[in-house]
Structures are given as C-alpha cells and as structure tokens.
Structure 1
Amino acid sequence: MNKGYFLVLFLTVFLPYKVLAQVKISGKVKNQNNKSLELLEVQFQDKDCVLVKSELTGIDGDFTVTIAKGEYLMLIKEFGKMVHKQRLNLDHDLNIGEIRIVENQQQLQEVTVTSKKKLIVRKVDRLVFNVENSVSASGGDAIDALKITPGLRVEEDQIAMIGKSGMSVMIDDRFIKLSGEDLIVFLKSIPSDNIKSIEVISNPPAKYDAEGNSGIVNIKLKKAKGNSVSGNLKTSYSQAKYPLENFGGGLNYQKDKVTITSNVNYSNGSTAPYQEYTIFYPNYTWFETNKVRSLQNSLSGGFTVDYQISSKTVMGVQYSGVLSKPIRKGVNNSSITNNNFVLDSLIITPSRLEVERKMHSVNFHTITKIDSSGRQLSADIDYFKYTSDLNNSFSTNTFLSDGTEIAGRYIAANNLSNQNIDIYSGKIDYELPLKWVNLSFGGKLSFINSDSKVSYFNTTDLHPILDLSKSNIFDYKENTQAIYISGNKTLTKKWELQLGFRLENTQTKGFSETLSQANTNDYLKLFPTLYVTYKLAEDNTFGFNYNRRIDRPGYSKLNPFRFYTSSFNYTEGNPFLQPYFTDNIELSHTYKNLYTSVYAYYLKNGFDEFAYVSPGSVTQVVRPVNFYTEKSIGLVESYTFTKWKWWESNNQLNVYYSKTTSEIPDIVSNIENWTCSFNSINVFVLNKSKTIKSELNFVCKSPAVVGSYKASGFYYFDTGFSFLFFKKKLQTAVNFMDVFRTQKRIFEQTVNGIAQKNFDYRDSQRIRFSLVWNFGKSIKEQKKKFSNDEEKKRTN
C-alpha cells in the first residue's frame, strides 16, 4: 500500500465540503500606558470550564486563535494570574480590538475566576475524571484513583475498560511500556494527590499508538502554578490485615521562563492476599490454599524542568524513577482427597520470593507554536530502562493423612531470574490548521531490547545443582516504525467529522539460547479511526466512531521464567506469544447529563493464561497462549445528578454480551455470558464553607466472561470523609474501602475436560488515614531597568 493511497483517500473525504468549520478571533493586549503586553496566555474555556484552546500574545501583544463555533469564556493570564475575562458567543470571525489591562494587584484579585470543576466531564472522544475533586482518592495512589474512575475496572493486576478487553496507560500523554504486576507496581508509586485528572479514551484517535486494543487511560499530573513556589507534604496510614504506610512530598517552582516540578514518595508495609484453588480430577480432588504476606518497600520520585526559549518555543526534560524491593512470603497447602472425600495426602510448600525492580524513564521534549493560526510542532525523545531480579526459594514436603512424612518426597529449590529491558523511542507531531480542515500528522520510531536469564538450582541436598532443563536464556527485540495523518472538519453547524489513519510496521525476534529456538515476526498493519458527531441542539449530540487496535504481549508474559508455588505447579511466560487485533465500533448519544452508548468489538487471536492439567499428571502449568476469538456487544448508560448543590452523583450502568470461541476446544471449552455492572460515585458537601465533604461509592458486577474464564459476580462499598483546615492548606481524610469485605471472586475454567475453580481475595477491606499540607507563595516579578530603555521607547 503506497503513500499516495492515503493522500487520495484523505482528499476525497475532505475536499468536497465548503469552508464552514472554524472561526477566527483576534485582538491585541495592552496595559494602561498603551504598551503591548507579550507572552500573556489567552485561554478559551467551554461551558464545563474545560480548556479548549490556548495561545500566547506576540511581541506586539496581538493574538489570533482558530476555534470551533460556540460559546466560550475567554481568559487572559499573566504568569498564571487572571487579568481579564470575557464571555463570547462565536458564530463568525471576530476582531475584538484592543484589550486594556490595568497592572494593579487589587484589580487582579477582583477578576479572579473561582469556578468549580465538575467531578466528571464527558468530551467528544474521552471522559475526564477530575481526581482532585474526589474524596475517595485522597491519600491513596494511582491504583486507588483508577478503581473509582467511571468506566474502568482494576482486577487481577489488570486495568481494563468496562465491557472491553484491555487498554494502555499513559502519564501526561506518554505511554508506559509495562503491563501486569510491573505496571501495578509503577502506578502504586504515584500518589493520588499528585494527579489532576484521569482521561478515559475509549476509541483513541490516530495520533496515539495503536497498542492497547480497546482504549487508553491518560493520567494527567498536576503542574506548577504561575510565578510561584509551592509544594506539599503528605502521609497516609492504611490498615487491612497488616499496616501500610506512605510518606512523600513535592516542590514546584515557576518564575518567568523556568518551570520546575518535583516529587518523592516512599511506601512500606504489607498486604495479605488469599487464594484457594480446586481441580476436579476424575479419580481425586486437588484442593490448594495459598496464604501470602506481600511486603512492600518502594521509593519513587521524579522531576520536570521546562524552559521557555522564546515566546513560541518551550523545551524541557522529565525524569521519573522507581526502586522497589518487595518480598512475598507464602505457604501453599495442597490436600488430595479421593472420590469418597477421604484425605489421601497433604503437600506443604513454604516459599520466599525476593524481588528488586528498578525503573528509569527520561524524556526530552520541545513544543514550538509556529504562528497564531495554531500551527504547532512538537518532538519527544524517550529512554526507558527496566531491570528486575527475582529470587524464589521454596521447599515441598509430602505427608500421609495421619501426618506421617513420606520418605524421599522432600524437594527444595532456588529459582532465579534476571530481566533487562531498554526502550528507545522518538516521535514528532505537527498540527496544521487550514481553512478547509484541521490536519495533524507525524511519525514515531521505537526500539525495544529485552534480555532475560532464568536459572533453577536444586537445593534438596543443601548443595545447589543447576538444572538446565528448567533454566533458560531468552533475548527479545522489537522495532516499530509508525506514521499517521488525521483531519478534523466541521461540515455544518450540526455535523463534525474526524478521520485518521495510522500505519505501523513492526519486526520482532525472540531467541531462546538454551533451547536454540528462534521466532521472528514482521508485519505491516493499517489502523483507521473515524469519528462523526451530529449536534441536534446545544445539549443534544449523537456520535459514531470506529477504530482498529493491536495488543502486544507484555514483557513478563514473554519471559520464560518459572515461578513455582510448589514442586507440582508453576507459572511461566511464553516467548512465542503473538499480538492480537481488535475492531471497535460505538454509537453514542449525549443529552444534558445523560450519556448512552451502544458498542461492539471483535477480537481475533487473543491470548490468555490458563492452567494446563491432564488426567495422567499431577503437574499444573499456567502459561499464556494465543487460542481464542472474542465477540462482544453492549450498552452503557451514564447519568450525572446535580439537582442539589450539596450532592453530585455520577452513575453508570453497563449491560453486555460476550462470547469466547476457543481454537483448541478439546483443551479449553467455549464460553459465553450476559453481564451487568453498575457503579455510583456520590460526593456530599456537608457545610456552607465546603470544607467538609463525604463520598459514598458503590460497585457491583454480575457473573462475567474474563478471557477464557467464567468469573462470579461481586459488589462492594467505599466511603470517606475529608476536612480542610487553615484556609484550606491542610487536608485530612479518612477512607473505608470494601466496607463489608465483599470484593471476592471465583474464576472457573474447564481444561482437558477437568474443571477448575479459583477463589481470590486481595485483602481489599481496609481503612486509610491521610494528611496533606499544601504550602506556597507568589514570586513578585523583578523588572530590571536597562540603560537603553528610553532609546527602546523611540522604536514604538
């Protein structure tokens, strides 16, 4: 497929329409002395106080902005402080003329806007959850915030959108190349108090990577306030079965052309997840309990430095890092009973897993606003380094039903793993607003190297003996080249169209040195996106969108490391996993506070973990495999209740049907199911000064299909209270999670005709106390008087 195909197709779609898309608004900003004011920020906010457009004034104080027709609040800011506001109803090009700014501190205070952001804002292609307005997220981490974000669920170390099969995670519009437990560990290092908002993008446009088959969640962190020094100190204490403590703080600085943000966080404590696992063999039943104490010990931090080189260009660097040393202590008890429920034998396996993870992420970025029409060029260069060292020691002993140890059945081993991942990437994006269409296009290159080494030592006789049959050295490389083009056009006052194409070329190579086995893959794929909106009235809009996505296996799933819970069962990665693709389609309707969506997706070549068992063996192996196709169709109803000022309630109902068809039906059977889920987030203001708030959240879900498993239903309640003191500088909160200890699940699957049942409880019931102290002060602008100031005036 040549590049001309894209150009012809794009021009065919957009050129026939007349120019009805945008309007231009221009003006000039001066002070009371008739001096032009440069580098003032001109913002345009919609009715929901959401920033739609932003531009800086030029050297002559002038600005020109191209924007869609509608009603806006125009705000002019000087180093973050409000100096002017004005309501505008834009239905044609407008020249405001000169705007006079009186440089007077008293006047600045008078025009300060104190509008309250909504907890949840729904935009054309995404839902925005303002975490800073949530009580339940106070004092927690990013995972706590994601759990209460409408449209998301966090289960089994997986983050997914309700009714969909998977997703990717971004921090400030930059993808996090982690998955599974590694991603959970990283997100737990981000305090929820550092998060401004979470964007749920169900069908991402072509600008974003095609990875993450059903959407993207974008975590937006708080920024430094203009012309000020600010920061916070925070601590929290959580109590479940065991305590978990968190300490941290941040310091931000912004003056003139320099902006610096920084944070550090340390957590220490433990949780106690519990699992039960039952396998119904033909002649006996295997029942296993797994009691674990998971100790957390994590230090994380980061900083961002931005420098405004000129009125049009900003350049910066961002760093974030995590050092985590968790320890997992567990005891696995496996009892084997015959068909008459008589105990035959008991297997006891104590284990200790020590892990050290290091993550370093460095980003260099630059943004240049080429002119006042909105043309903009941005570039990013990223480097990500991840290392993990695992040391799993365990022993297994077998006893008869009377407690007698069976001779010769004692086994002890030491399982070691080392994994190193290096990711280099660079991208460039260009925004080009034209009279007939708003274009954006760009490209990206990424290079991924992953090396892993697995060693298994038999320590039964106290002298370690390397077992080469359970050891492995595995190297994985993945290179991707991508280009995209996207266009947005307002066809009429009612119709708006956005069309995009992303082309990705990927080469992968996995090589097992121990097995002398290699697997290569080279594929070129096109990922189209389409958005159509029809505005029947100002508060009545219909939408349609379609996209195609890819989901590549996480590095942990490619790592052939074997994690043994006993000598009879272990979990291992599959270095030869292949990506799978998903086609998504959605029809939506927004009417005032009510949002309705009908969606469907088709997933092909899906991979999932399943426990492989057979009648002739007692060994259980959990391994991810590509083996299924999934179809799903569903309905989402979302309603925000805001009738009373003291109560805001955001509610979402989702009903969907899912069918998983196995490509190995003799081993894993087909499953299908109707599922219903409901969640409600309620915020209550308890006093007139709005310094005391409470929150009550409810989540429930009926039995569902999760990959190749049938999962039981569940429900739980979260509640919390927050208090503000000392002019709202001190915030205290108390939160109760999973109040009635009902967040428990049972997963069922049939493999080789053998039924399996897994009970899972993640120690989710807990109480958390948190304390946040915010401090800061404004920095007065120091205007230096130069010797040639008088001569400069003569140039005006």
Structure 2
Amino acid sequence: MKRLALVTFLIFSLFINGQEVKGKVVDTIGEIAFANIFLKDNSGKIVTGTNSNEKGNFTLKTPKGKYTIVVSFLGYKDWKKQIEIINIVDLGEIKLIENAENLDEVVIQSKRRVIQQKVDRLIFDVEKSVVAEGGNGVDILNVAPRVQIQNGVLEILGKGPSRVLINGRLSPLEGEELTTFLEGLNANDIKNIEVITTPPAKFEAAGRGGLINIILKKSKLNSWNNLSTVVYNQNEFNFGSIRNNFSYNKNNISLVASVNATKGHFKHTEDLQIQYPQNFWDIDIQSKERNENYSGRFQVDYQASEKTTLGLQYLGNISKPGGFTTVTSTVFDQNNQLDRWIENKGDNKIDRRNNAINFHAETKLDTLGRSISIDADYFNYNAKNNRDFTTEVFGNDGNSMGITSAALNISDQTIENYSSKIDVNYPINKVNLSFGGKTSFTNTKSNILFFDTLSGNSILDPSRSNNFEYEENNLAAYVSAGTNLTKKLELKVGVRLESTNTKGISEQTNQEIENEFTKLFPTVYISYNKNDNHTFSFSYGKRVDRPRFSDLNPFRYYINDNSFGEGNPFLQPSFTDSFELSHTYKRNLSSNLFLTVTTDGFGVIFTSDPVAQTQIVTRDNYITQYNYGISENYNANLFSWWESQNSFNVLGFYSKFQKDIGATPRNGFQVRASSNHTFSLSKQSKFLVNTWYSSKYSGGLFSVGESYNVSLGFQHNFKNNLKLSVLASDIFNTSALNNLTSVVDGVEQVYGQNDSNRNIRFSLSYSFGNKKIKVRDRNFGNDEERRRSN
C-alpha cells in the first residue's frame, strides 16, 4: 500500500507545479550515482523520492512544507537534514561519509546506468537483471543491445558473426559449441557485456564482426567463496546442469577452480523445401539431440613481489553432442501428386575434447602505469565424428522399394597450436602508448573414412575418403596511442601488422595450396564530449576474416544419398572496413550510425543439382557486401520498482556477387526491436518480461522470415543466500529461424530450424563463504587459433 501511495503521488505530481529541492551527492572521491533521496513528513511517512543521476545530481518536486530529507547509499552513513520548502531549495554538495563499521561486511554495488557509450564500445550493465540472477550467458546476450543469436550464430547487428571474450580472453568456440559453453556460464557472475563494434589494435585483426566481451564480477581480497547451482530445463525432452565455482584469494595467492556438467536431451527439428523443375521435395528432419558437456578450469596466480605477478591457467572441455536423426523426404511430381518418399535414419556420435594451458607474467615498471606482460600458450583439440546411416525408399503406395544405401562416415580432426605474445603499456606525458607482438604456429590434420555397409560388411571407399593437412604461421605487431586533445576531445589511433603463411595438402585430390599475405590493420577513434547531455564519437577499423580450418578441407561429408557438404582449400581471407558514428544523449539514449564493407567475402552456398537432385553445401569467396543501418538504445527507470531497456534497429543490406554462382543478390532492409522490463515485486522477488521482434528481410544470398519472442521470468531470494529462478522462454514458439530462402541455378530452397527454443528452466543456487573474493582473470594468448578450430 505504501508503494501504491508513492506511485500515485509521483504520477499526480507530474500535473502540479510543486516546489523544488535539489543538490549533488558526493564522497571523498567524486560523484555518487543512484544514491537514494527521500522526503519525509512530520509523521515519518515518505512523501516522495528519487535517485541521483550519473553526475550525482538530483531534483525533487513537492508542495510547500517542512520535511526531513534523507540521502542514503550502501556502505555510507545516512545524511539527514530538516528543511522548509517555500520556493527552490539548493542544498549544494552533500558529502556522504563511509560507514567504517559495516564497510568490510558488505559488497558495494552502485546502480549504474544500464547502457554506456564509450569511444570504442557499448557497455551493457546486467548486474541487476533477473535474467542474470537466474539464467545463463545465452539469456544475457539475448537481451544485450545490438546482439542477436539465431541459428547458432552470434552476431552484432549490422556487423556480422562476432567473437566472444570472457574478461578479455577470446573464446575458441563458435556455433553449437559456443552456445553450449554460454549456456553453461552462470549469468549471475556476469557484471557487464561490452559490445566492441570496432576492436582496438591490441586484439587480433581476425573476424569481420566485432567482439563481445563478457566481464565477470570481481570481489574483495583476503576471502573465499563457493557458488553451487542446479538447473533443470524442460522442453519436449529435458536436461540438467550442475555447476560449482570456488574462489580463494588471500595474501599472495589467488586461486580459481570450477567444474560444470550438463546431461540430457533436447528436440532438434529442421525443414527444407526444394522446388526442382521436374518435382518438389519436402524434407523433414527430427532429432533427439544429446546435450552432454563437461568442463573444468583451474587458475592460480602468485604475487611474487609488489610489482610482479606470475600465473598458470588450465581450461579443459569434453562435449558429446549428436543423436539419432530421422530425415523424411517426400517427393511430389509436377502435378503435386505423391511420387515416393525416402527415409534416412542415422546415429551421429560426436566426441570433442580440447585442452588449453597458459603461462602469464606481468611486471609493473613504475608508478606511472607502465607495465609489461608476456603469455605462452599451448592448445590441442580433437574431434571425432561417426555417422552410421541407412536410406530406404517407399513408393506412393507406402510399400518399401528397399534399402538403397547404408554407410559409416568417420572423421577425425586434430589441431595443435603454440603461441606467445608480449604487451607493453608505456604512457608518456599526455599520451597513453601501448605496443606489443604475437607469434602463432598451428598444425591440423583431418582424416575422413567412408565405409559402404550396404552388403553387411564395412567396405572402404577410397574415392570418398581423404587425409588433409594444414599449417598456418602468423606473426603480428601493433602500436596504439591515445590522448586528450582538449578537455572535451579525445583521440585514439592504432595499427596492427600481420604476416600470415599457410599451406594445405589434400591426399585424395593430390593438391598442395600455399597462401601468404602481409597487411596493415589501422584503427581510429575520436570522441567529443560537448556537455553533460551530448557526447559524439567516431570509429574506423579494418579487419580480416580467415576461414575455419575445417572449411578448408576439400573432402565431401555425406549426410545421406542426396546430401553432402564439402570444404574448399582455395578459400581466401576476406577483409572488412568498418565505420561508425555514435551519439549519446543524457547518458540514457544511445544512437549509432554504421557502415561495414566486406570484400572477397566467403560463405556457405546451398546448391542443388536439378538432374541428380542432390543438395550440396559448398563454400566460396563470392560476395562484396555493404551492411549499414542505425541503432537506438534507450534505458528508462520509470519507477524505483520498474526498469526498462529498449532497442530499435533499422539495418540495410546491399551485395554484389564477384563470380557467377547461378544466383542474384538479395538486397533489402530489416527492422529489429526489443523491449525488456524488470519489476521488483518486493526486496526478495522480481518479475521479468522480455520481448523482441525481427521483420522479414533479404541480404546477400538469402532472405529470412519474420520472427518474434516473448519470455517471462521470476526470481526469489530466500534467506541464507538461496535463490530460485524460473524462466519460460519463447512462450509462443515464434523465435526460430524460418523461411531462409535462396535460389541457385533456378532451384529454390526454403529452410527452417528450431532447437527447442520454447522451454522452461528452473534454477536453484546457493552461495556460501565470503562474497568479497577478488579473482584475477586473463586472456589466453592463442585464443584466435582455438576459436577457428571448431
């Protein structure tokens, strides 16, 4: 009732000309954002209230009268004063004093603005999100500005497929494996998401999209903490997860150990319609997919001296996806009459394992911020994939015409990478200078065997088997400098030089392909802070996108008699120039105008042979692509119990095909909007409503159908650090990829996919120990090579 009365008063106060009281909240360091300010009448009842803004300023409107004003913030003593409001009361600076008795017993958490625009990145604060407290990394990215995950692809809108970093450490995973990893990440540990649309020169130039940096929470020194979480997910099937994270930080030793295990199943469906000149194929794919993943991490850092830190880190992962799949292809003749149907059944067994070891050392050179750090890394990856399938044909009368094929397709890929890098920070006067370099050496071997099992015996088919070896050596150096030209104008420039040599050898095709290039990758950032209300920035960067190792293997991987995929050893890197202009208004509304130009772009081409009636997945450099658009992101704290974040994006796509692939470019526009709301029902409970909408659009080789999502969540904090979360995702089952359409050589293909997007998840977590733990986290030096291994 008190809350209802307060809300009623706030709404009513918008329509009256009340008096004003204003001030600024500070401490010994500077402004305090989002401090709590209340006015109480003589009976002690709260009349109205607000929060200080990012500069610590606040304004309250109220009728004339005598009040007690209270200013409070976690970790500080309350500030109180009796005031009489007749006209405008300016309290000036209100300086809060730290509460020394309780300061060491609490974790200071400032309620910062949800979206911040920096000179080279967009920062999304997720600490207060219900999704964070009850979800995982995928849930967080689904509500982050300018980020979308669809069909297993994570991308920054308008930029294309993007890489993920954890505390600045590039993840080696992408696609299905990346999604699995993010689903196993406890979102309650996530502090910020940094959407880096134009990565600085310090980062590898690889990847035409930007970077998405997931920053984990840190806490205080001389303490320990353990967090245990149990998750249950129900779709048509179900799976469960157990996670445990332990952190210890005392004296000169910092230690982190974590284990994660997920096991169960989810339903995977695909549909594909192919319009051949002579007939029509309707293909339905149903799978009971395994969701089995085990991962572990161990990190220890030692403070060898006041200036030097040494560390060792291990990261390991075992995943066993795959499952039993039934592919039903229904074939109709030109008169739309059933001609036959084909049933392909197969069991796909996958075993992927990777290990990464990192040694790190960092030394502070002086008190001016100068430092030097080195990393030495080793990474290995092994993936085994066995697909055992049979194909049976049925006539239009439903009678079997016999098994036409049976086979066992086996692939085995091994990758080893050695790398080292050095980074130096060396500020000089007013210039923040940094420079460094990296060496990387990669070897990969892929063996593929195809056995014909139709006779009941496994007979090796040499024409469908192959050995492929690939070597890549990369040398890189960079320099970056930033300075404040004036009090309002900031400039940052950088350049990265990369020299790459590759060699691929295919045993079956008797091909040896060598490639070499040396390129400069410049970056420029300009930021102008006009005043407290307006900030402008501009960025430019050049990027390179190298093919994944598996995409270079020329061998055909058979799904069934009519479908196969093949790599292309002649794939060349593509290059992207990225331009972006940003404006921030009152630190709540962020506007971005962007353009990316990709030359020698490569990608997947879905082709069909009208005569043989086969579906082929190939890869080629075939496109020059222009992506452009505008993005608006707005955050509003409507009331103390209602937070809202909203995004509206208009994207444009224009393409030119560099070679004849039997298709015409599809150019068009996309509208994507999202609106996410968190309601505080009480101090212990929150309710979540997340929505997004994506219009139908065309770009490059494909057009994509309309989709939208509505998700509801609830989270409750019990006593003794126990939390329960429930999240119902995609309740209308409308977010899946649909109507992905392409026309190549006159054959139209329409594709759709759903990985149990509609589901409900229950999560229970318990934390004990000291939550003030502080954990050092660092990059692996060979993260780019590990990413491309998948």
Alignment TM-score > 0.5, same fold: yes
- Partner letter of residue 174 of structure 1? R
> CA contact under 8 A between 1:189 and 1:322: conserved in structure 2?
no
Is 1:705 the counterpart of 2:698? The answer is: yes
Deviation for aligned residue 1:536: 0.6
Aligned to 1:95: none
**2 CA distance for matches of 1:139 and 1:512?**
48
- Partner letter of residue 734 of structure 2? T
> CA contact under 8 A between 1:140 and 1:236: conserved in structure 2?
no
- Partner letter of residue 340 of structure 2? S
Is 1:752 the counterpart of 2:745? The answer is: yes
Find 2:734's aligned residue among 742, 748, 761. 742
Deviation for aligned residue 1:118: 4.0
Q: How does 1:316-465 map to 2 (within 5 A)?
A: 316-407=311-402, 410-465=404-459
Is 1:722 the counterpart of 2:715? The answer is: yes
Aligned to 1:505: 499
**1 CA distance for matches of 2:110 and 2:174?**
38
Q: How many residues align?
A: 692
Q: How does 1:627-638 map to 2 (within 5 A)?
A: 627-638=622-633
Deviation readout 1:660-680 (Å, 9 max, x if unpaired): 222234512211011110112
- Partner letter of residue 735 of structure 2? Q
- Partner letter of residue 328 of structure 1? G
Find 1:600's aligned residue among 589, 595, 601. 595
Deviation readout 1:216-262 (Å, 9 max, x if unpaired): 11122344541112111110111111111111111111111111111
SS, match of residue 143 in structure 1? helix
**2 CA distance for matches of 1:472 and 1:132?**
50
Task: Call closer, same or farther: CA 1:164–1:111 in 2, change over 3 Å.
Answer: closer
SS, match of residue 187 in structure 1? helix
Aligned to 2:272: 277
**2 CA distance for matches of 1:321 and 1:707?**
37
Deviation readout 1:189-234 (Å, 9 max, x if unpaired): 4333343332210111111111121211112234454111211111
Aligned to 1:97: none
> CA contact under 8 A between 1:232 and 1:250: conserved in structure 2?
yes
> CA contact under 8 A between 1:365 and 1:379: conserved in structure 2?
yes
Aligned to 1:525: 519
Task: Call closer, same or farther: CA 1:72–1:750 in 2, change over 3 Å.
Answer: same
**1 CA distance for matches of 2:532 and 2:218?**
32
> CA contact under 8 A between 2:202 and 2:496: conserved in structure 1?
yes
**1 CA distance for matches of 2:554 and 2:677?**
45
Deviation readout 1:34-89 (Å, 9 max, x if unpaired): xxxxxxxxx9788669xxxxxxxxxxxxxxxxxxxx9899xxxxxxx9999xxxxx
Is 1:540 the counterpart of 2:540? The answer is: no
Find 1:588's aligned residue among 556, 574, 582. 582
Task: Call closer, same or farther: CA 1:44–1:576 in 2, change over 3 Å.
Answer: farther
Find 1:557's aligned residue among 551, 554, 566. 551
> CA contact under 8 A between 2:698 and 2:704: conserved in structure 1?
yes
Task: Call closer, same or farther: CA 1:340–1:251 in 2, change over 3 Å.
Answer: same
Deviation for aligned residue 1:139: 4.3
> CA contact under 8 A between 1:224 and 1:260: conserved in structure 2?
no
Q: How does 1:192-203 map to 2 (within 5 A)?
A: 192-203=187-198
Task: Call closer, same or farther: CA 1:562–1:195 in 2, change over 3 Å.
Answer: farther
Find 1:695's aligned residue among 688, 710, 717. 688
**1 CA distance for matches of 2:675 and 2:102?**
42
> CA contact under 8 A between 2:678 and 2:687: conserved in structure 1?
yes
Task: Call closer, same or farther: CA 1:362–1:254 in 2, change over 3 Å.
Answer: same
Give structure 1 stretches of 5+ with no counterpart.
1-42, 50-69, 74-80, 85-100, 781-796
> CA contact under 8 A between 1:611 and 1:621: conserved in structure 2?
yes
> CA contact under 8 A between 2:449 and 2:460: conserved in structure 1?
yes
Relative contact order, CA 8 A, sep 6+: which one is greater?
2
Aligned to 2:766: 773
> CA contact under 8 A between 1:83 and 1:112: conserved in structure 2?
no
Deviation for aligned residue 1:513: 1.6
Deviation for aligned residue 1:502: 0.7
Aligned to 2:470: 476
Q: TM-score, normalised by structure 1?
A: 0.83
**2 CA distance for matches of 1:754 and 1:567?**
19
**1 CA distance for matches of 2:235 and 2:479?**
50
Deviation readout 1:677-736 (Å, 9 max, x if unpaired): 01122222111xx22112211111112235521111210111211111115x11110001
Q: How does 1:222-261 map to 2 (within 5 A)?
A: 222-223=217-218, 225-261=220-256
SS, match of residue 663 in structure 2? coil
Deviation for aligned residue 1:447: 1.3
Aligned to 2:309: 314
Aligned to 2:148: 153
> CA contact under 8 A between 1:737 and 1:764: conserved in structure 2?
yes
SS, match of residue 726 in structure 1? coil
**2 CA distance for matches of 1:706 and 1:771?**
42
> CA contact under 8 A between 1:714 and 1:743: conserved in structure 2?
yes
SS, match of residue 556 in structure 1? helix
Q: How does 1:91-130 map to 2 (within 5 A)?
A: 106=101, 108-109=103-104, 113-130=108-125
Aligned to 2:681: 686
Is 1:658 the counterpart of 2:653? The answer is: yes
**2 CA distance for matches of 1:717 and 1:779?**
36
Task: Call closer, same or farther: CA 1:191–1:450 in 2, change over 3 Å.
Answer: farther
> CA contact under 8 A between 1:169 and 1:216: conserved in structure 2?
yes
Is 1:761 the counterpart of 2:754? The answer is: yes
SS, match of residue 292 in structure 2? strand
Deviation for aligned residue 1:563: 4.0
**1 CA distance for matches of 2:515 and 2:33?**
47
Is 1:674 the counterpart of 2:669? The answer is: yes
**2 CA distance for matches of 1:328 and 1:762?**
13
Task: Call closer, same or farther: CA 1:44–1:550 in 2, change over 3 Å.
Answer: farther
Task: Call closer, same or farther: CA 1:223–1:420 in 2, change over 3 Å.
Answer: farther
Deviation readout 1:297-333 (Å, 9 max, x if unpaired): 1111102111111112222112111111223211001
- Partner letter of residue 569 of structure 1? S
- Partner letter of residue 401 of structure 2? I
SS, match of residue 507 in structure 1? strand
**2 CA distance for matches of 1:603 and 1:186?**
29
**2 CA distance for matches of 1:613 and 1:698?**
37
Q: CA RMSD in A?
A: 2.6
**1 CA distance for matches of 2:105 and 2:356?**
43
SS, match of residue 469 in structure 1? helix
Deviation for aligned residue 1:609: 1.1
**1 CA distance for matches of 2:321 and 2:105?**
52
> CA contact under 8 A between 1:178 and 1:554: conserved in structure 2?
no
Which stretch of the first structure deviates more once superposed, 143-152 or 296-305?
143-152
Is 1:573 the counterpart of 2:558? The answer is: no
Give structure 2 stretches of 5+ with no counterpart.
1-27, 35-53, 58-73, 78-96, 774-790
> CA contact under 8 A between 1:510 and 1:576: conserved in structure 2?
no
Deviation for aligned residue 1:155: 1.3
**2 CA distance for matches of 1:196 and 1:373?**
28
Deviation readout 1:315-359 (Å, 9 max, x if unpaired): 211211111122321100111111111111111000110000101
> CA contact under 8 A between 2:665 and 2:699: conserved in structure 1?
no
**1 CA distance for matches of 2:56 and 2:443?**
48
**1 CA distance for matches of 2:772 and 2:697?**
55
**1 CA distance for matches of 2:395 and 2:378?**
55
